[in-house]
Amino acid sequence: MKEKILSIIEKNSRLGVSDIAVLLGEEEEAVKRAIEEMERDHVICGYHTIVNWGALDNNTKVSALIEVKVTPQRGIGFDKIAERIYNYPEVDDVYLMSGGFDLCVMIEGESLQDVALFVSDKLSTLDYVISTATHFMLKKYKDHGTILNPVKDRERIPIQP
């Protein structure tokens, strides 16, 4: 049941416990318990809204993906370095990657300068960081499985046998 609950609220976290219970044909109490358990175990880590900031008027927010190469520390590997980076509030996501670089850092800033400053002042100056490569996002098409500006041009015949 847990997986089914997750696949429902991953798409729509606004549904209440009773709605989810109806959809799954389960008892409300059982659904409530399962959600509480998953919250406690950090399976469910939070409830977010998918925002298309670009659709707001006067929006100047910029997002960037930063490739970071680091020297792992003896004994604790990458975790300590990742922690120093993810603790910055402006950092949205941090992933440890295989391949050409080590940490993938996603950041959102109010302006280009904002992001540039973060990279040059904070990120690059960290002891274990060898190099960074910053890629600015130009346009977001799809986020968390949701197409942000869906093209709907299909005509469905309203009444069919």
Partner 1 sequence: MRDPLGQKIKEIKPSGIRKFFDLVTEMNDPEVISLGVGEPDFDTPWHIREEGIYSLEKGRTFYTSNSGLQELREAICRYTERNFGLSYDPNKETLITVGGSEAIDIALRAMVDPGDEVLIPQPSYVSYEPCAILADAVPVIIELKEENDFSLTGRELEEAITDKTKILVLPFPNNPTGSILKEKELREIAEIVEKYDLYVISDEIYAALTYSEEGHISIASMPGMKERTVVINGFSKAFAMTGWRLGYAQGPEVIIDQMRKIHQYAIMCAPTTSQYAAVEAMNNGEKDVETMREAYDQRRRFLLDSFEKMGLRCFEPLGAFYVFPCVKDLGLTSDKFAEELLKEQKLAVVPGTAFGDSGEGFIRVSYAYSLEELEEAMRRMTKFVEARLKNG
What is the rounded radius of gyration, in angstroms, for the C-alpha atoms of the chain? Answer: 21
Binders in 6-35 for partner 1, by CB under 8 A: 8, 12, 22-25
The residues, any chain, with a CB within 8 Å of residue 71's CB and separated by 6 or more, are 128, 130
The residues, any chain, with a CB within 8 Å of residue 35's CB and separated by 6 or more, are 5, 17, 44
Stretches 4-12, 52-60, 102-110, 111-119: which one binds partner 1 (CB under 8 A)?
4-12
Contact between 4 and partner 1 by CB under 8 A: the answer reads yes
With both helix axes pointing from N to C terminus, report the angle between 17-24 and 2-11 in degrees, rounded to the nearest 10. 120
Stretches 49-57, 60-68, 120-128, 151-159: which one binds partner 1 (CB under 8 A)?
151-159
Q: Which is nearer to partner 1, 19 or 67 (CB)?
A: 19
Q: How far apart are CA 118 and CA 134, in angstroms?
A: 11
Contact between 158 and partner 1 by CB under 8 A: the answer reads yes
Which residues make up the interface to partner 1 (CB under 8 A)? 4, 8, 12, 22-25, 156-161
